Structure 1
C-alpha cells in the first residue's frame, strides 16, 4: 500500500519539468550531464526531481540550503542511479550540507572531513567540496564517494562487499577488489603515485567509494590501468562511463 502512494506521488513530481534556472545549474555544476545521450539525461532529471522532493535537506553551521545546492548534489548523486530502476536512494533519510570542511574532535584529536555517510541514512557533505566535483581531471567527487558508501551499506554493513546479481561476479569482486585494495595499500606505503585516490587504502569500504569516484570521473584511465576492477564496476552499476567520456 505504501509503495502505491509513493509511486503515485513520484509520478506527480515527474510530470513537472525541472525549472529552467535549476536546469542551467545542473548543466553548469554537473558538466558530465551535457555529454549524456537524451535517454540518460532524462534519467538524471528524474532522479534530481525525486531526490530534491523526497529527501530531507538540512543546512548546518548557519548555512541555508539553496536550490543550487540541492540540484548540484542530486545531479552528481544521480549518476550512480542511471541503471538502478526505481531505486532513488530510498534508504537515505537526510542530506546535511556544511559551509566548509567539517571538524570532529575525537579524543582530543581534531579530524577534518569533507563528507560522511551514516548507518542511519544520513549523508553529510561540504558544499565547497561538492563544487570541486565539476573538475573531472582529479578523479574526485565527494558526492559519488558518500552515496557509494550508502549503496555499500544496503546489505547492513559498509565494508566494501557490494552485492551482485550473479554469484560468479560476486566471487570475482571479492577476489579482484581484495587484490586491488592490497596493491593500493602497498603502493601508498611505498610512496608510489596511484590512479586511485590513496585514501582508498584506509579500508575496503573506502576502497569501494574511491574506486566508484574513479569509475565515473576517470573511466578511460581506469579501464586501461585497472581493467578487471573497471569491468566489475561496470557490471555493478550497469553502465559504462566511457560511452560519454
Structure 2
C-alpha cells in the first residue's frame, strides 16, 4: 500500500519539469550531464527531481542549503543510478551539508574530513569539496565516494562487499576486489604512484568507494590498468562511463 502512494507521488513529481535555473546548474556543475545520451539525461533529471523532493536536506553550522547545492549533489549521485531501475537512494535518511571541511575531535585527536556516510543512512558532505568535484577532473568526487559507501552498506555492513545480480559476478567480485585491494595496499606502502586514490588502502570499504570515484571520473585509465575491476564495476553500476568521457 505504501509503495502505491509513493509511486503516485513520484509520478506527480516527474510530471513537472526541472526549473530552467536548476537545469542550468546541473549542466554547469555536473559536466557529465551534457555528454549523456538523451535517455540517460532524462533518467538523471528524474533522479534529481525525486532526490530533491524526497530527501531530508539539512545545512550545518548555519549554512542554508540552496537549490544549487541540492541540484549539484543530486546530479552527481544520479550518475550512480542511471540504470538502477526505480531506486533513488530511498534508504538515505538525510543529507547534511557543511560550509567547509568538517573538524572532528576524537579523544583529543583532531581529524579533518570532507564527507561521511553513516550506518543510519545519513550522508554528510562539505559543499566546497562538492564544487571541487564539479570543476576539476582529478578523479576525486566526494559525492560519489560517500554515496558508494551507502550502496555498500545496503546489505547491513559497509565492508566493500556489494551485491551482484549473478552468483558468477558475486564470486568474481570477491576474488578480484580482494586481490586488487591487497595489491593497492602493497603499492601504497611501497610509495608507488597509484591511479586509484591511496586512501583506498585504508580498508576494503574505502577501496570500493575510491574505486567507484575512479570508475566514474577516470574510466578509460581504470579500464586500461585494472580491467577486471573495471568490468565488475561496469556490471554493478550497469553503465560504462567511457561512453560520456
Partners of 2:55 and 2:94 within 8 A in 1: yes
Matched, 1:109 2:135: no
Count of aligned residue pairs for this structure pair: 245
Deviation at 1:116, TM superposition (A): 0.3
Query: What 5-or-longer segments of structure 1 have no aligned partner?
Result: none
2:201 maps to 201
Q: Which residue of 1 aligns with 2:10?
A: 10
| 8 Å Cα contact 1:152/1:205 also seen in 2 | yes
Equivalent residues in 2 for 1:58-77 (5 A)?
Answer: 58-77=58-77
Measure the CA separation in 1 of the matches of 2:197 and 2:237: 20
Does the CA-based 8 Å contact 1:136-1:217 persist in structure 2?
no
Inter-partner Cα distance in structure 1 for 2:64 and 2:123:
16
Residue 142 of structure 2 aligns with which residue? 142
Which stretches in structure 2 are left out of the alignment for 5+ residues?
none
Q: What are the superposed Cα offsets for residues 66-91 of structure 1, whole Å, 9 maximum, x if unpaired?
A: 00000000000000001110000010
Tell me which residue corresponds to 1:243: 243
Question: CA offsets per residue over residues 118-167 of structure 1, 9 Å max, x none?
Answer: 01110000000000112453101000000000000000000000001111
Query: Partners of 2:141 and 2:150 in 1: how far apart?
Result: 15
How far apart in 1 are the matches of 2:135 and 2:153?
A: 27
Rounded Cα–Cα distance in structure 2 between residues aligned with 1:16 and 1:127? 27
Find the residue that maps to 1:134 and give its secondary structure: helix
TM-score, normalisation: structure 1: 0.99
- Aligned to 2:10, the other structure's residue is in SS state helix
Partner of 2:219: 219
Name the residue aligned to 2:164.
164
1:5-32 Cα deviation digits (max 9, x unpaired):
0000000000000000000000000011
Q: Is the 8 A contact 2:188 2:198 kept in 1?
A: yes
TM-score (norm 2): 0.99
Return 127-136 or 168-177, whichever deviates more: 127-136
SS of corresponding position for 1:133? helix
Runs of 4+ deviating beyond 3 Å: none
2:233 is aligned with 1:233: yes
2:103–2:110: 8 Å Cα contact kept in structure 1?
A: yes
1:19-77 Cα distance to aligned partner (Å, 9 max, x none): 00000000000011100010000000000000000000000001000000000000000
